[in-house]
């Protein structure tokens, strides 16, 4: 079974969705049973995904559990999947967040439950596919496939402006990925020109690039990098391509927001790390100053705009722009600390922001409002909620010994010496202010929502969390603590893969080298 | 064994948080809280004073728990170390902390959140001890932010007080601004050491783990020049300045001091423990710990001294005009912290630590005393409604007199020795990059501050314990006769008075551990200054080239620094660290000067007390200058110049104009254009929802078409 684990993981949710559909045709089927089916399959997927950890203790260098079959023979597309230390954790993050999302929809979703849960399961399948695909066409397929369920989740089960948000989300991201498709096809032809065989296989492409069998002209690399990066930067989202995010987040149902923040955004940074760095190392270095500048603007801009939001969910959404800016900053520092920190920050953001959206969903379900001014003094009627919400907020703020700190610290540490930018310490100092702003917007929000005097009758009568709600956030809270106190378990397993990805950039095997003024500085650090 | 010092209070916090909320029995909760801190105290004393204990041996006691973060050459351990510096800190933190816990069991009696209060207080002890005992910068930072969190939770403890939540937030954010500097400073330490090939952020050598001390590596580097440019050069001076920014946040120095007065919204034991005795002195601890860095950065030292002196004077003037008993003490704390930084700035780290310790005794005493007064006055904090309380609360009164004499600097009380030591060190500081007159000017500021301190503290005592009994008048104002009996001030229970007595004794005799030679030798013999002897081996001293006419010679712990580029950067001091001979007997001339200055200090203290007594004894309600009463309008200035512009700029500029206007505006224009094109092409009226469908379809078609076209041309270009 171990050998087919990835295929099983991709197919299991699809089977779950099919089971749900089949069940709805059986006589006496009840809508409310579908959530049990979804919970069962997502939990099973999570447990199976833990098997990926087997044998990964010493760190993973190459892709493991690979499967590689012809898929569309006519164009040489293959079904090629595998995990390394980078995708490993993202797959597990996905499978972890899914049962939690299903549980968070338990009572919140009342209309069209069969369709809702079927879409959730299909979404999971697509997301796992994105993180394990090693064939560019397959990757593109999953990347686009993840759009469709999310489009419907927002458009059907969303808030008041759901149609606007869903369409904006769809068009924004579809435009980006179409560009990537052009890039993928271009790579195919370039490879065909160079070697006589066209391929979409990532492993083959990188191999021929490294060996020099296929060389990208600087100009080609420039454009191809842009085509890929555009798709990924919209997903991240990198400033100023972020304006779909807060609409989609705000209007999506709670589970949609959790998945959007927890997993979909990571597809962008994962794509940059895997494909842009792996395929276009020279262009990656060339564009690093631009990417870092945008990332730092995003960190500060996202935080400042989050600060003045009247809507809690929108505030958390804008904070994502800030946090994901850190991830991009870390990636483009091209140091071990930075890239490891970026990967870790992806996981952290999934856990912390996912949890924050869950909490916002819980009070929305009770009060049917997300406006900060409608709340106040929740600590009295809802002590457990308040405790947990404060812990999740502190994790988002980056309090040491909670998960956020480790990632952000490593990223800032590395950006200081990033050879990509002149005067990198200025970048670091600016990025560092993001941590101050995070405290400002989160604590100000807490002050108005959780603390103070209980402002209204409606708030005073709110019920505290029930067992289901505690059960669904507790894993995330424990994970925040664990990831903050003992990050080695995660960092050790991703070390080798991240280092391999970094080597490609730091030591270009062949071809033109872009002037790297401060490379020696970074070398000295290692 | 060291780990139990920090984990005992942590366990206490967890027990009270999880079980205490169910038990709701004050006795059990108090026992758990005090017991866990008591365990820490016993272990700390045992480890410090056993035969090879931290204060007796030159080797620190180490305890490595696990490797926290390790990526590349960056490594941060969860490891603890108790050397002489952290030992002294751990001793007074656990001991004073224990007393305040006991006091709080009485003070918080009957409060609905009893369990929550003690859970936070224990958690604070955990964080504070982690800060002090952490063996590397990053673990210190964990404690540093941890105490900030506990401070946040405890300031906001009273949910009914409207000012509590904003005060808590303000404290956390002001601290965060400082922490920004601290984190960057840590990073720069890492880079400076990795540039030398010994990347480390550890305070100590840990040969078994292959970790070298970052401080020793920096001590081996050449001393930075005394230039403004050095601040931005990315060298040792930059590190020192960044770390000091961290200290200004935590220790409430200019410009980040604004949070501390507001923090008085928390319960009084919290003010005593966190905002007087322990947490706020963390900045001084950090500077002393990093003395090797600061002594290599004369510019940073100069800044530290100036900021310290300015804060001391500034806060003292505000303290003169406050009417809330806790606010007076808060500004007094800021002022005394300024003193400590002034001492650090002239290289008198040991004197600064000495003052931290005596201040912990007498300021904890004063705060707890004020807590006892507030408790006895039924939560009245305005001194204008007190007066004549010595009759009603004799124990509180007597013990507070001890604290008062100590802070004023009356001889034999603890504050005298430490304050006098600081003033003498400032006066006699060598020309370490400073212009010759500068140290005399700094001394003068310190002396004026001492005078003001004596005046406002006498005012506080006078308004509270002497004079007419004004609390009755206020009651008559309300016109409800029967309330008089209930509002009669009363002495506090034993659980509160016993800690007061212990702290009063310590405020009285606690200074005797550090009597300077010049004074102790008055009694004849050749006594040693125990405090200085203990700390000297772990503190780098300022190279005193000018006065000694010798080469620059800082002390350091171990090992002797390596030579750099063939020439010794700094020569090690000849004597073995910690040996008694490293202390040189000062010349008779210096001793006379020191004695003279001590006399001046005494005169200043007595003059201040005299002025305070004669002015405020007659007119306890004397109207103070409005500028001082309003704290120089600093909060208002910050609000108008920093907070509001950022808020409005973010809301109106970034969000509404840029985000919604510019970016989405462009997108909507494109979208509408597509829709209009679709309508024209199809000659078809469309409804609202279908309109969006049209956007998708038309948009997708146009985009695909466009990219298919341009993609083809790019392709042609690429293949060529």
Collect all residues of chain A within an 8 Å Cβ-Cβ radius of residue B707: 178-179, 181-182
Mind telling me how many Å the CA of A444 is from chain B's nearest CA? Answer: 7
Question: Is some CB atom of chain A closer than 8 A to the CB atom of B675?
Answer: no
* Domain membership flag for residue A498: no
C-alpha dist (Å) from residue B195 to B199, B207, B221: 7, 20, 11
pLDDT for A57 equals: 61
Token pair in block for residue B398:
């007597």
CB contact under 8 A, A220 and B655: no
Restricting to A residues 489-518, those with a Cβ less than 8 Å away from any Cβ of B are 491, 495
Collect all residues of chain A within an 8 Å Cβ-Cβ radius of residue B130: none
* A311 in the same domain as A245: no
Restricting to A residues 358-377, those with a Cβ less than 8 Å away from any Cβ of B are 377
Closest by alpha carbon to A179, among A123, A243, A234?
A234
**Least confident among A394-403, B103-112, B583-592, B701-710:** B701-710
Q: Judge whether residue B249 has pLDDT over 50.
A: yes
* A223 in the same domain as A158: yes
Q: Judge whether residue A484 has pLDDT over 60.
A: yes
Collect all residues of chain A within an 8 Å Cβ-Cβ radius of residue B188: 416
Closest by alpha carbon to A313, among A270, A272, A256, A274?
A256
Q: Judge whether residue B474 has pLDDT over 90.
A: no
Mean pLDDT within B38-59 = 89
Residue of A nearest to B666 (CA): A243
The band of B557, judged by pLDDT with boundaries at 50, 70 and 90, is very low
Collect all residues of chain A within an 8 Å Cβ-Cβ radius of residue B647: 307-308
Of A249, A264, A279, the residue that ends a domain is A279
Residue of B nearest to A442 (CA): B169
Residue of A nearest to B157 (CA): A451
Question: Is some CB atom of chain A closer than 8 A to the CB atom of B190?
Answer: yes
Give the number of beta-carbon pairs within 8 Å between A and B.
175
Closest by alpha carbon to B238, among B228, B250, B252?
B228
CA distance A427 to A429: 5
* Residues A357-393 pLDDT 10s: 999 999 998 888 888 888 888 888 888 899 999 999 9
Q: Which residues of B385-413 are buried (b: 16+ CB within 10 A; e: fewer)?
A: bbbbbbebbebbbebbbbbbbbbbbbbeb
Of A279, A308, A338, the residue that ends a domain is A279
Q: What is the DSSP letter of B704?
A: H
pLDDT for B552 equals: 38
* A367 in the same domain as A228: no
**ipTM of predicted assembly, 2 dp:** 0.89
CB contact under 8 A, A186 and B718: yes
* A315 in the same domain as A440: yes
Question: Is some CB atom of chain B closer than 8 A to the CB atom of A433?
Answer: yes
Question: Is some CB atom of chain A closer than 8 A to the CB atom of B671?
Answer: yes
Q: Please, what is the average pLDDT of chain A? A: 86
CB contact under 8 A, B142 and A401: yes
The band of B248, judged by pLDDT with boundaries at 50, 70 and 90, is very high
pLDDT for B568 equals: 38
* A29 in the same domain as A78: yes
Closest by alpha carbon to A330, among A478, A181, A494?
A494
* Residues B79-133 pLDDT 10s: 999 999 999 999 999 999 999 999 999 999 888 888 999 999 999 999 999 999 9
Residue A451: partners with Cβ closer than 8 Å, 6 or more residues away: A377, A379, B156, B159, B164, B165, B168
Q: Judge whether residue B243 has pLDDT over 90.
A: yes
Q: Where are the alpha helices (DSSP H) in A196-335?
A: 202-211, 218-235, 243-251, 254-259, 265-271, 277-279, 281-307, 312-331
* Domain membership flag for residue A212: yes
CB contact under 8 A, B73 and A525: yes
* A149 in the same domain as A229: yes
The band of A525, judged by pLDDT with boundaries at 50, 70 and 90, is very low
pLDDT for B247 equals: 94
pLDDT for A318 equals: 92
Q: What is the DSSP letter of B633?
A: G
Of A449, A464, A485, the residue that ends a domain is A485
* A192 in the same domain as A83: yes
Question: Is some CB atom of chain B closer than 8 A to the CB atom of A240?
Answer: yes
* A400 in the same domain as A363: yes
pLDDT for B714 equals: 55
Restricting to A residues 83-142, those with a Cβ less than 8 Å away from any Cβ of B are none
Mind telling me how many Å the CA of B719 is from chain A's nearest CA? Answer: 6
* Residues A175-198 pLDDT 10s: 888 888 888 988 888 888 888 888
Burial of B500 (0-12, 13-18, 19+ CB in 10 A): buried
Question: Is some CB atom of chain A closer than 8 A to the CB atom of B187?
Answer: yes
B78: enclosing H helix or E strand: strand B74-82
* Domain membership flag for residue A229: yes
The partner residue sitting opposite A380, judged by closest CB among B159, B172, B710, is B159
Residue B435: partners with Cβ closer than 8 Å, 6 or more residues away: none
Mean pLDDT within B318-326 = 91
CA distance B657 to B652: 6
* A66 in the same domain as A20: yes
* Domain membership flag for residue A393: yes
* A109 in the same domain as A225: yes
* A418 in the same domain as A374: yes
Residue of B nearest to A339 (CA): B71
Range of the domain at A37: 1-279
CB contact under 8 A, B149 and A377: no
Closest by alpha carbon to B584, among B535, B524, B517?
B517
Question: Is some CB atom of chain B closer than 8 A to the CB atom of A481?
Answer: no
* A264 in the same domain as A295: no
* Domain membership flag for residue A513: no
Phi first, then psi: what are they for B295, rounded to 5°? -70, -15
Question: Is some CB atom of chain B closer than 8 A to the CB atom of A430?
Answer: no
Token pair in block for residue B702:
């146009």
Restricting to A residues 58-77, those with a Cβ less than 8 Å away from any Cβ of B are none
Mean pLDDT within A419-424 = 70
The band of A298, judged by pLDDT with boundaries at 50, 70 and 90, is very high
CA distance A74 to A77: 8
Question: Is some CB atom of chain B closer than 8 A to the CB atom of A219?
Answer: yes
Collect all residues of chain B within an 8 Å Cβ-Cβ radius of residue A388: none
* Domain membership flag for residue A516: no
Which comes out higher in pLDDT, residue A98 or B1? A98
Look at residue B10 and give its three-state secondary structure: helix
Q: Judge whether residue A25 has pLDDT over 90.
A: no
* Residues B573-605 pLDDT 10s: 333 333 333 445 667 888 888 888 889 989 999
* Domain membership flag for residue A509: no
The partner residue sitting opposite B173, judged by closest CB among A220, A443, A485, is A443
Question: Is some CB atom of chain B closer than 8 A to the CB atom of A419?
Answer: no
Strand-pairing partners, residue B474, are none
Quote the number of domains for chain A. 2
CB contact under 8 A, A433 and B160: no
Mind telling me how many Å the CA of B643 is from chain A's nearest CA? Answer: 11
* Domain membership flag for residue A307: yes
**Least confident among A155-169, A424-438, B509-523:** B509-523
Sign of the Cα pseudo-torsion (B311, B316, B321, B326, in order): positive
Restricting to B residues 431-450, those with a Cβ less than 8 Å away from any Cβ of A are none
Q: Judge whether residue B560 has pLDDT over 70.
A: no
Residue of A nearest to B169 (CA): A443
CA distance B555 to B544: 12
Residue B526: partners with Cβ closer than 8 Å, 6 or more residues away: none
Mean pLDDT within B465-481 = 65
Query: Do B323 and B382 contact (CB within 8 A), yes or no?
Result: yes
pLDDT for A115 equals: 87
Restricting to B residues 23-82, those with a Cβ less than 8 Å away from any Cβ of A are 66-74, 78
């Amino acid at each position: 079974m171990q050998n087919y684990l990835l295929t099983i993981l991709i197919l299991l949710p699809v089977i779950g969705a099919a089971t749900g559909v089949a069940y709805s045709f059986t006589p006496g089927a009840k809508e409310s049973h579908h959530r049990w089916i979804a919970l069962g399959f997502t939990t099973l997927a999570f447990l199976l995904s833990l098997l990926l950890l087997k044998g990964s203790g010493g760190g993973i260098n190459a892709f493991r559990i690979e499967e590689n079959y012809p898929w569309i023979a006519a164009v040489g597309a293959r079904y090629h999947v595998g995990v390394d230390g980078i995708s490993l954790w993202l797959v597990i993050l996905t499978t972890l967040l899914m049962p939690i999302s299903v549980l968070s929809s338990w009572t919140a979703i009342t209309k069209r439950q069969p369709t809702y849960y079927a879409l959730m399961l299909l979404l999971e399948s697509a997301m796992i596919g994105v993180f394990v695909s090693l064939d560019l066409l397959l990757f593109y397929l999953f990347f686009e496939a993840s759009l469709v369920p999310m489009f419907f989740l927002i458009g059907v089960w969303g808030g008041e402006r759901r149609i606007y948000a869903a369409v904006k989300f769809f068009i924004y991201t579809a435009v980006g990925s179409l560009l990537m498709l052009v890039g993928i096809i271009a790579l195919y032809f370039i490879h065909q020109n160079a070697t006589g065989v066209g391929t979409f296989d990532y492993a083959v492409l990188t191999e021929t690039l490294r060996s020099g069998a296929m060389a990208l002209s600087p100009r080609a690399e420039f454009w191809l990098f842009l085509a890929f990066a555009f798709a990924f930067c919209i997903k991240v989202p990198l400033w100023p391509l972020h304006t779909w995010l807060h609409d989609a987040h705000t209007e999506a149902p709670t589970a949609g927001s959790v998945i959007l923040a927890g997993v979909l955004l990571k597809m962008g940074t994962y794509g940059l790390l895997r494909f842009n760095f792996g395929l276009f190392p020279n262009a990656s270095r060339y564009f690093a100053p631009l990417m870092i500048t945008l990332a730092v603007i995003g960190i500060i801009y996202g935080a400042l705009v989050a600060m003045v939001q009247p809507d809690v969910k929108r505030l958390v959404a804008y904070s994502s722009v800030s946090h994901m800016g850190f991830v991009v900053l870390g990636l483009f520092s091209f140091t071990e600390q930075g890239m490891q920190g970026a990967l870790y920050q992806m996981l952290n953001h999934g856990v912390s922001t996912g949890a924050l959206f869950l909490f916002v969903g819980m009070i929305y379900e009770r009060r049917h409002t997300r406006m900060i001014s409608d709340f106040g003094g929740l600590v009295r009627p809802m002590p457990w909620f308040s405790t947990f919400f404060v812990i999740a907020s502190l994790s988002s703020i980056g309090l040491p010994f909670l998960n956020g700190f480790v990632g952000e610290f490593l990223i800032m540490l590395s950006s200081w010496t990033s050879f990509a930018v002149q005067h990198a310490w200025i970048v670091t100092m600016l990025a560092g202010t993001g941590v101050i702003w995070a405290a400002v917007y989160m604590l100000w929000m807490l002050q108005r929502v959780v603390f103070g005097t209980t402002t209204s009758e409606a708030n005073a009568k709110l019920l505290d969390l029930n067992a289901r709600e505690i059960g669904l956030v507790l894993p995330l809270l424990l994970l925040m603590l664990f990831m903050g106190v003992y990050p080695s378990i995660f960092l050790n397993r991703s070390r080798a893969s991240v280092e391999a990805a970094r080597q490609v950039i730091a030591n270009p095997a062949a071809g033109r080298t872009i002037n790297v003024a401060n490379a020696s500085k970074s070398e000295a650090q290692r | 064994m060291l780990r139990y010092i920090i984990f005992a209070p942590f366990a206490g916090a967890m027990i009270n948080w999880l079980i205490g909320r169910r038990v709701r029995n004050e006795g059990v909760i108090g026992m758990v809280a005090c017991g866990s801190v008591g365990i820490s105290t016993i272990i700390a004393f045992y480890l410090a004073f056993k035969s090879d204990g931290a204060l007796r041996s030159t080797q620190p006691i180490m305890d490595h728990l696990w490797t926290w973060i390790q990526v590349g050459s960056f490594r941060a351990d969860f490891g603890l170390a108790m050397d002489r510096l952290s030992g002294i800190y751990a001793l007074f933190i656990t001991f004073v902390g224990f007393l305040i816990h006991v006091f709080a069991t009485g003070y918080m009696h009957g409060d609905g959140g009893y369990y929550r209060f003690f859970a936070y207080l224990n958690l604070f002890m955990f964080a504070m001890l982690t800060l002090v005992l952490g063996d590397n910068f990053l673990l210190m930072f964990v404690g540093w932010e941890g105490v900030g969190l506990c401070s946040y939770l405890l300031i906001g403890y009273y949910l009914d007080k409207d000012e509590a939540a904003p005060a808590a937030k303000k404290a956390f954010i002001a601290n965060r601004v400082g922490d920004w500097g601290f984190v960057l400073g840590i990073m720069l330490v890492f880079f400076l050491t990795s540039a030398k090939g010994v990347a480390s952020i550890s305070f100590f050598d840990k040969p078994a783990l292959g970790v070298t001390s970052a401080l020793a590596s920096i001590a081996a580097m050449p001393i930075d020049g005394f230039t403004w440019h050095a601040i931005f050069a990315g060298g040792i001076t930059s590190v020192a300045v960044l770390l000091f920014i961290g200290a200004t946040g935590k220790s409430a120095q200019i410009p980040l001091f604004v949070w501390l007065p507001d923090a008085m919204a928390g319960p009084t034991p919290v003010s005593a423990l966190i905002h007087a005795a322990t947490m706020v002195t963390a900045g001084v601890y950090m500077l002393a710990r990093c003395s090797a860095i600061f002594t290599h950065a004369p510019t940073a030292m100069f800044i530290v001294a100036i900021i310290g002196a300015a804060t001391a004077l500034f806060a003292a003037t505000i303290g003169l005009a406050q009417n809330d008993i806790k606010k007076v003490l808060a500004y007094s704390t800021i002022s005394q912290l300024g003193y400590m930084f002034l001492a650090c700035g002239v290289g008198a780290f040991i004197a600064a630590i000495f003052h931290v310790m005596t201040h912990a005794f007498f300021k904890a005493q004063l705060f707890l005393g004020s807590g006892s007064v507030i408790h006895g006055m039924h939560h009245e904090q305005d001194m204008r409604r007190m007066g004549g309380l010595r009759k009603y609360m004799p124990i509180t009164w007597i013990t507070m007199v001890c604290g008062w004499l100590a802070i004023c600097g009356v001889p034999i009380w603890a504050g005298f020795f430490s304050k006098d030591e600081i003033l003498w060190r400032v006066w006699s500081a060598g020309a370490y990059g400073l212009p010759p007159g500068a140290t005399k000017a700094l001394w003068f500021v310190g002396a004026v501050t001492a005078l003001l301190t004596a005046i406002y503290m006498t005012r506080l005592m006078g308004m509270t314990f002497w004079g007419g009994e004004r609390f009755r008048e206020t009651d008559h104002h309300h016109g409800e006769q029967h309330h008089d009996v209930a509002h009669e001030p009363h002495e506090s229970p034993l659980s509160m008075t016993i800690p007061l007595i212990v702290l009063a004794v310590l405020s009285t005799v606690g200074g005797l551990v550090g009597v300077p030679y010049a004074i102790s030798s008055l009694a004849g013999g050749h006594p040693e200054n125990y405090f200085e002897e203990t700390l000297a081996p772990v503190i780098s001293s300022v190279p005193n080239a000018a006065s000694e006419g010798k080469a620059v010679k800082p002390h350091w712990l171990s090992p002797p620094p390596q030579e750099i580029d063939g020439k010794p950067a700094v020569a090690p001091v000849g004597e073995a660290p910690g040996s008694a001979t490293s202390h040189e007997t000062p010349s008779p001339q210096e001793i006379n000067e020191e004695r003279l200055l001590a006399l001046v200090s005494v005169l200043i203290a007595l003059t201040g007390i005299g002025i305070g007594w004669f002015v405020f004894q007659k007119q306890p309600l004397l109207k103070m200058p409005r500028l001082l009463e309003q704290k120089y309008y600093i909060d208002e200035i910050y609000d108008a110049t920093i907070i509001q512009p950022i808020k409005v700029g973010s809301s109106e500029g970034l969000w509404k104009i840029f985000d919604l206007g510019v970016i989405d505006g462009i997108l909507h224009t494109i979208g509408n254009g597509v829709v209009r094109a679709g309508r024209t092409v199809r000659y078809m009226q469309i409804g609202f929802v279908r309109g969006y469908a049209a956007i998708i379809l038309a948009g997708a078609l146009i985009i695909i078409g466009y990219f298919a076209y341009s993609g083809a041309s790019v392709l042609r270009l690429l293949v060529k």
